[in-house]
């Protein structure tokens, strides 16, 4: 049985495709036991898959962008060959205010902001982008940066904001922060349109802020992700920015400066001097992993793997900036798997393509290898966009970084995947001994499912398909919470 807190949506007049079909909002908060399974759920798969995503609670008063919807967490828990489902809205301050008013109060990404207001101030923190687990709680985060909302992992009820330390109050914390499972630390960065333009911090396993410092930038930037190793954190400064004049007028207008380098800041994990490294100009959303290597001379190098946008060229081989901006601005999908190397002793850099054949994004790894040299990444295979602002997540890719090989699984037309985190098998000791788990929209049967795929043999497709009793709107990022972590939180 479901509970819908929000008004009837049958009279919403929203022509945008991002509000229809599997993109359409589903505001019913519910819980289901003993979900139907096609195939057999492995009994050694125990834990919880959680995914965040947008579902607008009220009709937008202007143009709608997929990124505008209110955050909703969807959790599927696996125990002994059975699966249950629960979903809840992230109870942000903005959602509470709009519920009280009975209508949308904030402009969306496509709208002009109020006169004199920066978009950071005028837009609602919808907390719809990423979710991670730390200190016995789920953290829900927003891609534009803002307050992190803490959520009970069992009920999905919102507990409050991560503002127990005064330094966190009003801070625009990025959606893509990192948890080190070996230490229990939460590494984060924050950015915005006012100086100082970036901060870096660490929250310990006990929830206390242990590190907090400014990171110098020449102006407001658009970083998205970060990376961590056992001793360092890597932050990003790309040559993609908002046009300053447009920003001052309350609008977004992207610029890419091909004469500016991509810069990566390497910071000691617990604070200290920032060491900058420069690379060819690119833009990247998501990092797969980073690690430390000691070369033959005894020098430490930082290696980072990610999925930047492919750099389009014109007939003369020059960068086609207009095409790049169009791809980024319309959620186009054209990515490469790429590597950067940074020598901490000499300042030397190296970079290059790992794979420019398969178009993949949303890289996930076995999180026990976070910050360590990993062999495998599990990415979403990106399809050809049918319409603007509707990227199709068409399948799965497994990369073997030890030999540069990859295998891909695509079930054919009519299926739309989600980011699929790695879930270790009970008692696993090998990096790829487990499963990848993720929502799939089955357009042929007009329903949402969760597919469980053997991580060692993804080309065989799912070993089990869990049938959802209600539609799960397309969404963004996810995490896997191990059963041991849930058990520890239950007795805390």
- pLDDT computed for residue 5 by the predictor: 46
Weakest mean pLDDT among 18-32, 254-268, 273-287, 356-370: 18-32
Q: What's the whole-number mean pLDDT along residues 36-60?
A: 96
211 contact partners, CB below 8 Å, separation of at least 6 = 200, 201, 202, 269, 270, 271
Q: How far is CA 199 from the centre of its chain?
A: 19
- Domain segments of the chain: what residues? 2-491
CA angle (385 as vertex; 447, 236 as ends), nearest 5? 105
DSSP per-residue string spanning 10-28: TT-----GGGSGGGS---E
Q: Is 258 helix (H, G, I), strand (E, B) or coil?
A: coil
117 φ/ψ sector (left φ>0, alpha ψ -120 to 50, else beta): beta
Task: Judge whether 233 and 227 are in contact, CB under 8 Å.
Answer: yes
If one counts every other C-beta atom within 10 angstroms of the C-beta of residue 217, the result is: 17
**Which CATH entry fits the domain spanning 2-491: 2.130.10.10, 1.20.120.160, 3.40.50.1010, 2.60.40.10?**
2.130.10.10
pLDDT in tens, 363-394: 999 999 999 999 999 999 998 766 677 788 99
The answer to whether residue 10 scores a pLDDT higher than 50 is: no
Token pair 């329903």 is at which residue? 447
Task: Judge whether 472 and 442 are in contact, CB under 8 Å.
Answer: no
Work out the widest C-alpha separation in the chain, in whole angstroms. Answer: 69
Rounding to the nearest 10 degrees, give the CA dihedral for residues 187, 192, 195, 200: 0
- pLDDT computed for residue 65 by the predictor: 87
- pLDDT computed for residue 491 by the predictor: 85
Q: What's the whole-number mean pLDDT along residues 76-101?
A: 97
Name the E strands within 95-157.
130-134, 137-141, 149-151
Q: Is 201 helix (H, G, I), strand (E, B) or coil?
A: strand
pLDDT in tens, 176-220: 999 999 999 999 999 998 899 999 999 999 999 999 999 999 999
Give the C-alpha distances (Å, rounded to integers) separating 211 from 6, 272, 348. Answer: 41, 10, 28
Task: Judge whether 165 and 211 are in contact, CB under 8 Å.
Answer: no
| Predicted structure pTM score | 0.95
Task: Judge whether 149 and 92 are in contact, CB under 8 Å.
Answer: yes
pLDDT in tens, 228-242: 999 999 999 999 999
- pLDDT computed for residue 385 by the predictor: 67
Q: What's the whole-number mean pLDDT along residues 117-141?
A: 90
158 contact partners, CB below 8 Å, separation of at least 6 = 88, 89, 90, 91, 92, 140, 149, 150, 151, 152
Rounding to the nearest 10 degrees, give the CA dihedral for residues 152, 175, 189, 94: -70
- Distance, in Å, from the CA atom of 198 to the CA atom of 192, rounded to the nearest integer, reads 7
Q: Is 71 helix (H, G, I), strand (E, B) or coil?
A: strand
175 confidence band (pLDDT: 50, 70, 90): very high
121 contact partners, CB below 8 Å, separation of at least 6 = none
CA angle (171 as vertex; 185, 104 as ends), nearest 5? 120
- Strands across the sheet containing 393-400: 360-364, 376-382, 393-400, 405-409
């Amino acid at each position: 049985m479901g509970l819908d807190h929000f008004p009837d949506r049958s009279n919403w007049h929203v022509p945008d495709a991002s509000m229809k079909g599997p993109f359409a909002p589903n505001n019913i908060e519910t819980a289901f036991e003993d979900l139907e399974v096609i195939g057999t759920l492995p009994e050694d798969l125990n834990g919880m898959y959680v995914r965040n995503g947008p579902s607008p609670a009220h009709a937008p008063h202007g143009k709608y962008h997929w990124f505008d919807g209110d955050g909703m967490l969807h959790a599927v828990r696996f125990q002994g060959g059975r699966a249950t489902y629960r979903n809840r809205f992230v109870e942000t301050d903005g959602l509470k205010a709009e519920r009280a008013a009975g209508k949308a109060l904030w402009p969306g990404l496509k709208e002009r902001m109020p006169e004199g207001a920066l978009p950071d101030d005028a837009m609602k923190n919808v907390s719809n982008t990423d979710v991670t687990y730390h200190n016995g709680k789920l953290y829900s985060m927003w891609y534009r940066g803002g307050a992190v909302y803490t959520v009970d992992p069992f009920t999905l009820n919102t507990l409050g904001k991560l503002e127990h330390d005064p330094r966190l109050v009003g801070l625009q914390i990025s959606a893509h922060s990192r948890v080190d499972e070996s230490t229990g630390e939460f590494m984060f960065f924050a950015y915005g349109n006012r100086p100082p333009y970036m901060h870096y911090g660490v929250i310990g396993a006990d929830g206390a802020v242990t590190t907090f410092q400014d990171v110098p930038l020449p102006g407001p930037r658009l970083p998205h992700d970060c990376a961590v190793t056992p001793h360092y954190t890597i932050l990003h400064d790309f040559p993609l920015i908002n046009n300053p004049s447009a920003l001052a007028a309350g609008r977004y207008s992207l610029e890419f400066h091909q004469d500016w380098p991509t810069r990566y800041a390497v910071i000691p994990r617990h604070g200290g001097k920032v060491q900058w490294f420069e690379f060819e100009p690119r833009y990247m959303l998501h990092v797969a992993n980073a690690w430390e290597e000691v070369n033959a001379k005894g020098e430490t190098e930082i290696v980072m793997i990610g999925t930047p946008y492919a750099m389009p060229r014109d007939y003369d081989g020059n960068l086609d900036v207009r095409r790049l901006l169009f791809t980024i601005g319309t959620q186009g999908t054209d990515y490469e798997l790429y590597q950067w190397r940074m020598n901490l002793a000499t300042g030397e850099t190296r970079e290059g393509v790992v794979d420019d054949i398969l178009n993949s994004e949303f890289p996930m790894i076995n999180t026990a290898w976070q910050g360590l040299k990993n062999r495998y990444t599990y990415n979403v295979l990106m399809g050809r966009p049918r319409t603007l602002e509707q990227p199709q997540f068409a399948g799965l890719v497994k990369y073997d970084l030890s030999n540069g090989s990859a295998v891909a699984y695509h079930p054919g037309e009519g299926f739309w995947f989600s980011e699929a985190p790695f879930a270790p098998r009970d008692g696993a000791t090998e990096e790829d001994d487990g499963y990848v788990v993720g929502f799939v929209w089955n357009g042929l049967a007009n329903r949402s499912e969760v597919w469980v795929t053997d991580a060692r043999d993804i080309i065989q497709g799912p070993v089990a398909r869990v049938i959802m009793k209600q539609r799960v709107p397309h969404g963004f990022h996810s995490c896997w919470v191990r059963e041991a972590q849930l058990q520890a939180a239950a007795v805390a």
